[in-house]
Structure 1
Amino acid sequence: MFAGARPFLRSCMPGLFLTITPNIHPMRNLFVCCLILLLPFAGSAQASELEQRLFELPDVAFEAIKAPEGYAAAYELRIKQPLDHENPERGYFYQRAYLTHRSFGAPMVMATEGYNRPSNRMYELTGYLSANQVDVEHRFFGQSVPDSLDYTYLNLRQATADLHHIRELLGAIYEQPWVSTGISKGGQTTIFYRYFYPDDVAASVPYVAPLNLDLTDDRIYEFLGQVGTPAIRAAIREVQLRMLRSRDEVLPLLRWHAKGAGLKFSYMSIERAFEYAVLEYPFSFWQLGHDFADIPGKAAGIEALLEHFIGVVGLDFYADGAMEAYASHYWQAGSEMGYYGFDTAPFKGLLKEIKEDEPTAIFMPGKAPMGFKPDLVKAVYDWTQRGADKMIYIYGAIDTWTATGVPVSDKVDALWFVMEGKDHGSARIRNMTEEQRQHLLSTLEGWMEKK
């Protein structure tokens, strides 16, 4: 249960096995023995002090969870947040976050997650910085939801104010420099958080984070038209054409697949989902770095083609479960953050369910109308080019989302790493060259020292 009052603590000393080497001086033996005996108590004392300090924070409930190896303690937090930070009387909800504690003297990494966080996840940056970490679930995702989902309150100003409130609360405990980071939509959140609250952190490290400038950003089409080789792009197009031309064979097999997978289609028909998946195929192929060698040749049977297709994009993304899970994400895309669409020109006469010339990849909750306003994203874009210092952007050169990434600017004190051959899941610090990694970490540590 969560600690609404001071939790009842139970601690025990772990088993200890100590071998004494005879040729070591007895006094040194005694010192080593005492040191080893004291280590568990040091960790226990830190956890006890941390719980006391968490207990003293307003609007924070906490429950101890298993700490990752090398950390003194970890907690699942519930933080009371107003629905509207400018008008707190309009109600509140509890935001889920995970706090992982190394020491009070270590820096803090705030992971600005863009979706739900069902469990604690350690980010690689936390390890590189030997830092503490707080991983924050986004408002209106997972368990961080009010009793009634009024999407009026799901906007970037409110979402970043949530992060600022957490920063203020935990900043009373963790006084060393803070760094924010996030991956994909979490990376977007990191950028927007820094825009609204530039002094909250010493630096920001968004990974594979797009900054879309329109409801359907045309830079996606430009990227897909040049990534890879002409032969690879032709093979990808052939898969799309063959799937559509073979719909009478494919759809019965897909219905059996959907039934076996427990997929339901009430938001859209399975026929329409099939067409969307075909249009999505090249985006997913490059985003997740699939191997060109795995694309079935023209001589491959329809079942081999379908197995490959499902492995790359599939239908689950368009089924009811995903529509519900990503409803809040689509709301943000359709109102403030923009997204991407599909070019149907190459498939004239082959699409029976999708009639639009440029259908969007956004599926608004309840099929609500989109009220996209580009003012914020364009303001943030301009800021990244002229005023966003101490930012480190990490992208994969073959990741589709790099198409709408933040462009390099020589007018800011920032770093860009566009990693050759890396995709949405592999563009990470651990996969950099040693020279790149050292440059990133030394620059970041220098910024943190100046904070």
Structure 2
Amino acid sequence: MRNKFLLFFLILSSSALQAQFSTLEQRLFELPDVLFKAIDAPDGFEAAYELHIKQPIDHENPEKGYFYQRAYLSHRSFEAPMVLATEGYMRPSNRMYELTGYLNANQVDVEHRYFGTSSPDSLDYTYLNLKQVTADLHHIRTLLGQLYTQPWVSTGISKGGQTTIFYRYFYPDDVAASVPYVAPLNLELTDDRIYEFLANVGTEECRKGIRDVQMRVLKNREELLPLLRWHAKGAGMEFTYLSLEEAFEYAVLEYPFSFWQLGHDCEAIPGKTAGLETLLEHFVKVVGLDFYSDASMFGYASHYWQAGDEMGYYGFQTKPFKGLLKEITEEEPTAIFMPGKAPMKFDPAFVKSVYNWTQREADEMIYIYGAIDTWTATGVPVSDKVDAKWFVMEGKDHGSARIRNMSEAERAELLQTLEQWMNASKH
């Protein structure tokens, strides 16, 4: 008799799941502007779909044309909350965010406008601005909000975290809470707060070791450049936007930024007695030369446009290397490489208005930073004028500042706060 009841329960459960799949696909089919295809569901989810959502190139003038934006929907239940993941770059496959697991939520992960397949046929960068980017997200929120009526939370990492902040700025009522990770909010084309951070992070001994690597690499350029040419050739890198020599010098200047951003070990810095091959191996590990190759310039073109147009970025101080740089002649060169070497039209007024909003009005925000991550230098500062929380994680970098690496008390505080905000949004 017990086996009969178990069989009956399994049949009912299977029928319920099939009905839910059928209902979900039917409702997706009925949504305007949405194309979809089933993909493998992540563990713990009932179904998943790759979506292509029709978006106007210009949300204020739809007659100018459209493109299809790629997103990934992972479905648990219509009764579960929704995590909206705001990517900063392309998203070629479904990616699960840790917040989705902690909230036992559904998830929609949205590729950024003008990245990956989410681009118009003709890349007119006039329409790559944050007003258009966040209008894309709002359109998706409006469409899928017809299916998912429980609280929504937005989240993103790094440039995706910036997108989370800007999305909440333009559409404060779209979500119950926002959780940007390791998200800078740069206030200048080359934000000086980066220099102050690099001058003080870590120990004096480690900072000296970093500077010694830079000096030694530059002083031994004649021996190292031929090795780098062979390395680049073997890896299939091409250098026409920058020459290999320019890429080499930019990589030297980038070295401390990258070292702290990615949390490299001070003990692994080669000493003065280490051979040049050991030095070069370490240097390339910390700052990949491919970051300055043509493939990277093409892949990150839209990112650089946004930095030079609206979002600001960082630069490099060259005075310590006077006489050692042969290709870079500017006193404070930028780390922005505009597509087609277009001029930068950055105006700080917009980002400063967003900054002021974070300090005075941006409630229900949780900011997560790593204390040794270079990008924390331009993170959103703590403000007691808003209902928000900051978690600056000691010893954590750009890749390790995550909820899963928090103490149990910190994690409980974060999740309890989110639950309170999500419950409040229901009323």
TM-score by length of 2: 0.99
Task: Give, in whole Å, the separation in 2 of the partners of 1:432 and 1:193.
Answer: 26
What SS class does the counterpart of residue 410 from structure 2 fall into? helix
Q: How many matched pairs?
A: 425
Which residue, out of 76, 89, 111, partners 2:63?
Answer: 89
Write the letter of the residue equivalent to 1:81: Q
Which residue, out of 95, 112, 115, partners 1:121?
Answer: 95
What SS class does the counterpart of residue 240 from structure 1 fall into? helix
Aligned to 1:57: 31
Q: Deviations over 1:52-101 (max 9, x none)?
A: 00000001000100001111110000000001111111111100000000
Confirm whether residue 136 of structure 1 aligns to residue 113 of structure 2. Answer: no
What SS class does the counterpart of residue 376 from structure 2 fall into? helix
What SS class does the counterpart of residue 140 from structure 1 fall into? coil
4+ residue segments displaced more than 6 Å: none
Deviation at 1:34, TM superposition (A): 2.4
Aligned to 1:405: 379
Write the letter of the residue equivalent to 2:199: G
Aligned to 1:21: none
Write the letter of the residue equivalent to 2:36: F
Confirm whether residue 78 of structure 1 aligns to residue 23 of structure 2. Answer: no
Task: Give, in whole Å, the separation in 2 of the partners of 1:114 and 1:202.
Answer: 21
Identity fraction in percent: 77
Task: Give, in whole Å, the separation in 2 of the partners of 1:291 and 1:44.
Answer: 51
Aligned to 2:150: 176
Aligned to 2:214: 240
Confirm whether residue 313 of structure 1 aligns to residue 287 of structure 2. Answer: yes
What SS class does the counterpart of residue 147 from structure 1 fall into? coil
Confirm whether residue 433 of structure 1 aligns to residue 407 of structure 2. Answer: yes
Task: Give, in whole Å, the separation in 2 of the partners of 1:281 and 1:53.
Answer: 50
Once the two structures are superposed, the pairs formed by residues 96-245 of structure 1 within 5 Å of their partners are 96-245=70-219
CA contact (8 A) 1:398 1:421 kept: yes
What SS class does the counterpart of residue 118 from structure 1 fall into? coil
Task: Give, in whole Å, the separation in 1 of the partners of 2:403 and 2:309.
Answer: 32
Deviation at 1:45, TM superposition (A): 1.9
The answer to which of 195-204 and 291-300 deviates more is: 291-300
Aligned to 1:374: 348
Confirm whether residue 339 of structure 1 aligns to residue 337 of structure 2. Answer: no
Deviation at 1:29, TM superposition (A): 3.8
Deviation at 1:123, TM superposition (A): 0.3
Confirm whether residue 269 of structure 1 aligns to residue 235 of structure 2. Answer: no
Write the letter of the residue equivalent to 1:53: R
Task: Give, in whole Å, the separation in 2 of the partners of 1:252 and 1:262.
Answer: 15
Deviation at 1:313, TM superposition (A): 0.4
CA contact (8 A) 1:44 1:72 kept: no
Task: Give, in whole Å, the separation in 2 of the partners of 1:113 and 1:46.
Answer: 28
Write the letter of the residue equivalent to 2:303: H
Q: Deviations over 1:90-121 (max 9, x none)?
A: 11110000000000000000000010000000
What SS class does the counterpart of residue 147 from structure 2 fall into? coil
What SS class does the counterpart of residue 106 from structure 1 fall into? coil
Write the letter of the residue equivalent to 1:362: I
Q: Based on CA coordinates, which of the two structures has the bigger radius of gyration?
A: 1
Aligned to 1:31: 5
Write the letter of the residue equivalent to 1:188: Q
Which residue, out of 373, 393, 413, partners 1:419?
Answer: 393
CA contact (8 A) 1:364 1:370 kept: yes
What SS class does the counterpart of residue 45 from structure 2 fall into? coil
Query: Which sections of structure 1, spanning at least 5 residues, go unmatched?
Result: 1-25
Which residue, out of 7, 10, 19, partners 1:45?
Answer: 19
Aligned to 2:265: 291
Write the letter of the residue equivalent to 1:56: E
Task: Give, in whole Å, the separation in 1 of the partners of 2:31 and 2:298.
Answer: 34
Q: Deviations over 1:23-74 (max 9, x none)?
A: xxx3x44333322343333322211110000000001000100001111110
Q: Deviations over 1:268-287 (max 9, x none)?
A: 10000000000000000000
TM-score by length of 1: 0.93
What SS class does the counterpart of residue 206 from structure 1 fall into? strand
Deviation at 1:293, TM superposition (A): 1.2
Write the letter of the residue equivalent to 2:305: W
What SS class does the counterpart of residue 153 from structure 2 fall into? strand
What SS class does the counterpart of residue 310 from structure 1 fall into? helix
Which residue, out of 314, 321, 324, partners 2:298?
Answer: 324
Deviation at 1:317, TM superposition (A): 0.3
Query: Which sections of structure 2, spanning at least 5 residues, go unmatched?
Result: none
Task: Give, in whole Å, the separation in 2 of the partners of 1:36 and 1:237.
Answer: 65
The answer to which of 42-51 and 112-121 deviates more is: 42-51
Write the letter of the residue equivalent to 1:406: V
Aligned to 1:300: 274
Deviation at 1:375, TM superposition (A): 1.1
Task: Give, in whole Å, the separation in 2 of the partners of 1:426 and 1:33.
Answer: 46
Aligned to 1:10: none
Write the letter of the residue equivalent to 1:215: L
What SS class does the counterpart of residue 75 from structure 1 fall into? strand
Aligned to 2:357: 383
Deviation at 1:373, TM superposition (A): 1.0
